[in-house]
Structure 1
Amino acid sequence: MRAKRRTPIAYAGLLVVTFVAIGGAAVFSLDRSRPAASEPAPAVELVAPISARAGAAVLALSLDATPAEPTPPPTPIPPAATTSAATETSSTTDAPATTATTAASTTTRPDRTPPKIVVTSPEDGAVVRTEIVTFEGETEPGARVFSGPYEADVDEEGHWKLRLVVTEGPNGAVFAARDRHGNEASVRIVVHYEPPATTTTTKPPSTTTTTAPPAETTTTTAPSEEEWSPQWPPSPGGRRDVEEWRGLVAQYWDEDKVDCALGLIYRESRGDPQAHNTRTGAYGLFQHLLKYWKGRARAAGFVDGDGLVAHPFNAEANIAASAWLAGYYEARGYDWWRPWGAPPSYGSCDAGG
């Protein structure tokens, strides 16, 4: 069976309104044919309110059947400031990592670079004609320069200077620079000392008097006719008790070597300032060879304003030059007694030096 089509509620309401309107018109026509006083007025007034309420009901049903949909509110767009804030927050979060990297990159490392050092004079392999040589060079400002136990004079710009005594033949000199951080560097050069040639003819000694020398070594005689400084003439000759020289020895030798020096005097010359070994050509209390004497006397300070040195028979000069020679060898790592061949044995002096 076909389903019956239902009349919508709105049309039904419209039919009711039409019906009531027609009915109302018919009643109104009947009322006009009757006398006005025979019927009360309220009967007519009841029709209008019913029609109005029916119309209102139909209007209400019509509005409820097709309600209007409300317009949705516009969707708010997020402000751009929110995105910027998030970006700024991200940047702020990353900041500590950058700070840590900067701190790490500024860490100071200790200086381990050795200072430079060069010798500018004399040149490596140079030949020198004097026993006292002035070495000069350059290093970095603030560094100190040494050669063994001796320290050079260094100016503010790093120029240094040091005087050293050399011996005949090749001499190796090592110079070390040390900066304020303890870094060190060194340089070594070799110089050859060749004494200047001399034309002085050595005459035979005029005096041959002997003063009871030890049979194997010494005789009293004057050295060759050289020009010696009048400030330090020969001391009186003759054997003496070595204790007579203790006071003078103590002025130039270290305290722990005084007895050792007296032992050398006894062994080398028996205390005779004018002792001379004709076989070796050695002179004085400590028996210095004449070819080395001038350089040693100068190094010990026994040279006058004219460049003349003390006579080798001068006891004080001989003692002072010997003390310088012992220190020279000791500073280079040798036994201080090496120039005399063997350690002495006297008083409190240790036989081992």
Structure 2
Amino acid sequence: MKTLGQEILEMAISESPVKTILVVYPGRFQPMGQHHAAVYKKLASKFGKSNTFVVTSDKVALPKSPLNFKEKYSVMKKHGITNVVQVKNPYQAQELTAKYDPETTALLFAVGKKDMMENPRFKIGFKKNGEPSYFQDYETNKNNLQPFTQHGYLVVAPHVDIQIPGFGEMSGTTLRQVLATADPNTFKDVMGFFDPKVYNLLKSKFSQLKLEMIEAFLCEGSTATALGKSMVDDGPRYYYGNQATYRKKTAQIAKRLGYEVINYIVKDNPIEIHDTNYPDGPPLNVSYFPTGVKGGDFAGTDYLKNYKGSPAYKLWLKHINKSATAVGYKFLDFLGADISIDSSKGEVLGKQTNALREQALTKNWWSNQ
């Protein structure tokens, strides 16, 4: 029984000089995941394995391309794929096409539907002189294919949707994120195989990459920029619906810190109303745990309620998970943060005893300095 690929080939040969159909699956494959492997196997099943190839370069460019060709190939072999060719440009694949007769070989590039619609390199149309562009649609021309000296053909690569729990659809980005901290069982679930050498290679590469990205973010985000953006933190709330609330709440904060408000610099003008309930505004406190000197008088800034131990940890956990989700991340390990449960149990809850009363920024205050 003839395969679909053989039938297509015979139809193409009957009306064109093409004797061979060469199928190229190009990409960065950083790394190749189960979804990539499934796409290749579908293409090989349709067009024939002997003439279906994965092509990729040796280019290393952080942060999206940390693996060189040899490292990528070691992953591909574990997926059972060995028809792999190193090329300088995956979307030309000259290193592969040089092995075929240019007058009797048709060249097909398997490209994702989204890339075909959005990437200008795959634009199908006409040149300025009115001639058809090099790339043409495969389905439209499959019965009259031309050699790759005249045209290359684009075939829509089948979409394979594999979900990674907690990360979403499998992609190069999500693979690098999960493999950076994956244990052997998680690695096998995600990649579909387990090999100690490949496991250690990818974990080392992606965990180091993740660390470098975090360090770069911290360095860039910890200084003011030329655009006038200043440093901020997850500090106390700073918007209030009216003057009465503003005065009441700030007086409570001062009292909790051992101070007393004598007067307010802000005039009695109406305050513009803002919807600042968390998470639209900042959280109610700097820390869910007691702050200040450990073992000393309480110096926290949560004016609603005192927390310590497990209740404080649960509130922090909820907040930090929400923060991570907001930027597309998920915590896999909190690195012993729960130690704060026991370390905060002995803290004193209540206001400071050394209450201090000052009337700042007034004429009398300045005259006494």
Q: TM-score, normalised by structure 1?
A: 0.19
| Structure with bigger gyration radius | 1
Higher relative contact order, structure no. (Cα contacts within 8 Å, ≥ 6 residues apart)? 2
